Structure 1
Amino acid sequence: MRRQLMLKALLGLAFMGLLLLLVDQQWSSWISSMYLWSSSQKTPTEDPLDLSSRKFEAQAEIRHPLDLRYPYPYPFLINHPDKCEGPRGAPFLLMLVMTQPQNVWVRQVIRETWGNETLVPGVVIFCLFVLGLPQPLFAQELQVLLEREDRKHGDLLQVGLLDTYRNLTLKVLMGLEWMAQYCPTAQYVLKVDSDVFLNPRYLVQKVLQPNGPLRPDFITGHIYRNTAPMRRQGHKWYMPPELYSHDKYPDYCAGPGYVMSGSLALRILSVAQRVKALYLEDVFVGLCLKYLGVKPTPAPRNTFFTYQKKYDRCTFHRLVLVHHFQHQEILQIWPDFLIASTTC
């Protein structure tokens, strides 16, 4: 009797498991069909990420999180190929701001503060926000918002790869590919993160010097020398020996912001086609510099800060960049900072 009860219980569990499996398969099939149906019902203007681009996104996914696929034909999904051909001519400074798709308000704050292209009189500056594809959750809704934002401001450069920290090198390289293809005569290129305070006037007038001589091998920022790779797994900057076996990194400029001559940017991009890409973008640029035989040029002392610094009007008037600044803080200090040129 007891054996029969156990047999019935086992058969019942097996039946329930089979039933749950069938229900789960039907549910997944229904969700998939509903997703595809909703995608097919939208017009191209409502849904810029059609099935073909989503298929590309899946193909562009990289299985190993530290192994980058480059060179690779990542497409520009939002592009402005004519930006450098307008009446203002080629830019003295092209600013490539690394940003994430969902950071709409951060981009607006930057436009109203240090990303304002007219901030330095008499100097042509162009600003582009480089971003990738949003995470799958709410991707279509966010893409619609990005298209609307770009129609209003015309300054987004979206690349067909998933926007993650591990893909930052690819975003930077694609920004340089855009420069090489559509704006090759830019005199200087600034790679900058979105969580910084930037002083474009000091950068242009004191560091780059529009009336100064051409510097084909110029790159500057906060320079790291003789730094060792992080070998502790789980650390944000972990570098496995199989990807980089040396005990020291080459000299490189810290990732929050560095500026280089346009000619050097083109040469870095050329070398990047042959050197194995590392996910630590600033280290990888340093590796490209080593292959080119170029060393970073020291910036004026105390002008690039990789750590947060308390705001002081006259101190910030004489520096280029401070890392770890939230957009709310920039909005608060910017009106006061603008009067520094007349009071400091």
Structure 2
Amino acid sequence: MKLMKGNLMLGVLLSTVFGALLMLLLAWTAPAHLRPLSPRIFSKKFEWQVQTPHPLDLKYPQSYPFLINHPDKCESPGDAPFLLMLVMTQPQDTGIRQAIRQTWGNETLVPGVVIRRLFVLGLPQPLFAQELRALLEEEDREHGDLLQVGFLDTYHNLTLKILTGLEWMAQYCPTAHYVLKVDNDVFLNPSFLVHQVLWPNGPRQLDFITGYIYRDARPERRPGHKWYMPPELYSQNEYPDYCAGPGYVMSGSLALRILTIAQRFKAIYVEDVFVGLCLKQLGVKPTPAPPNTFLMLRRKYNHCAFHRLVLVHHFQPQELLQIWPDFLTSNGACPSV
């Protein structure tokens, strides 16, 4: 067991280093005068342009093709999926995805509840597209859980990731009771999420979305900041209430309504804020989660404390692999709350 865990952690480390080297090589080898091209990758029928009129301007709605797809992922002889996990990831994150499969992304982790998992990713930078294509195809043949969409995989395209993930849900998994959007740098407790937040034996919650709720947040107006929002893209001085991007869960019915309303007004690149704008258009407010269960700041692992949490942000795959065997042991000795 120790040898298997060591090998898996080594794989995660090598994958992380490989991804970092890819990004560095891109920065070193691309001449300053080089214009982004529109190469054909994965599909002869699809082309994309890296540049847009404004660097933070999104092209949506637009028909982005599913280049790696599993249309039968939600088909089963039994019940419709109770929870569809849409995990945001980058093409080079092979080791991170494997760590998630071995820990909180295990579809069989919650007995008696049907969970389906998809890793949503875009296209790599053109320089390494062919090399990563072969690796992704091999990974998907083994696990069958990649959803690759035809736009460049960048931080500013996170809104496109969640919207195209919802497009996939609408087309291939419309009966899912709940949809979880989650980043790949978190600790997640699916059992607590299912039994203490979503309640599989209770009535279906319709206009429902929850997570860590930001209220009265203001746009960042400093150019160069990670979340800079230029006034020409969003002119108001305050954002509506929204659930923080590292992880939020919504009812399947609300996910379909968000997807519909998202195509009727201008998309912005700050993904969680944009979902909040969609909620405002729909007249829906986020539902508070049980207090202190979605943590946006890192917390040191504690067995009993983590069994009473849904999510903790800023968790790396190596840490997940280290704590998971202990987390799976019984929490019967933990004090009740």
Normalised to the residue count of structure 1, the TM-score between the two structures is: 0.84
More displaced, 86-95 or 188-197?
86-95
Report if aligned partners of 1:167, 1:279 keep a CA contact under 8 Å in 2. yes
Deviation at 1:170, TM superposition (A): 0.3
Deviation at 1:86, TM superposition (A): 2.3
Tell whether 2:222 aligns with 1:229. no
Letter in 2 for 1:49: F
Aligned match of 1:268 in 240, 250, 258? 258
Partner of 2:74: 84
Letter in 2 for 1:129: F
Partner of 1:139: 129
Deviation at 1:166, TM superposition (A): 0.3
CA distance in 2, matches of 1:179, 1:61: 28
Report if aligned partners of 1:61, 1:162 keep a CA contact under 8 Å in 2. no
Letter in 1 for 2:226: K
Tell whether 2:48 aligns with 1:57. yes
SS of equivalent residue, structure 2 residue 212:
strand
Tell whether 2:324 aligns with 1:331. no
Aligned length: 298
Counterparts in 2 of 1:3-82, with a 5 A limit?
A: 49=42, 51-53=44-46, 56-58=47-49, 62-82=52-72
CA distance 1:326–1:147, change in 2 (3 Å): same
4+ residue runs of structure 1 moved beyond 2 angstroms? 48-53, 60-64, 86-89, 340-344
Report if aligned partners of 2:43, 2:67 keep a CA contact under 8 Å in 1. no
SS of equivalent residue, structure 1 residue 243:
coil
CA distance in 2, matches of 1:187, 1:61: 37
CA distance in 2, matches of 1:175, 1:244: 24
Which runs of 5 or more residues in structure 1 are unaligned?
Answer: 1-27, 40-47
CA distance in 2, matches of 1:49, 1:175: 19
Deviation at 1:137, TM superposition (A): 1.9
CA distance in 2, matches of 1:247, 1:184: 36
Deviation at 1:84, TM superposition (A): 1.0
Which runs of 5 or more residues in structure 2 are unaligned?
Answer: 1-33
Letter in 2 for 1:140: Q
Deviation at 1:108, TM superposition (A): 0.2
More displaced, 237-246 or 79-88?
79-88
Letter in 2 for 1:107: R
Deviation at 1:340, TM superposition (A): 4.0
Matched-pair identity in %: 73
Deviation at 1:342, TM superposition (A): 3.6
Partner of 1:247: 237
Tell whether 2:205 aligns with 1:215. yes
Deviation at 1:63, TM superposition (A): 4.4
Partner of 1:302: 292
Report if aligned partners of 1:218, 1:260 keep a CA contact under 8 Å in 2. yes
CA distance in 2, matches of 1:342, 1:128: 32
Normalised to the residue count of structure 2, the TM-score between the two structures is: 0.86
The structure where helix makes up a greater share of residues is 1
Aligned match of 1:163 in 153, 160, 169? 153
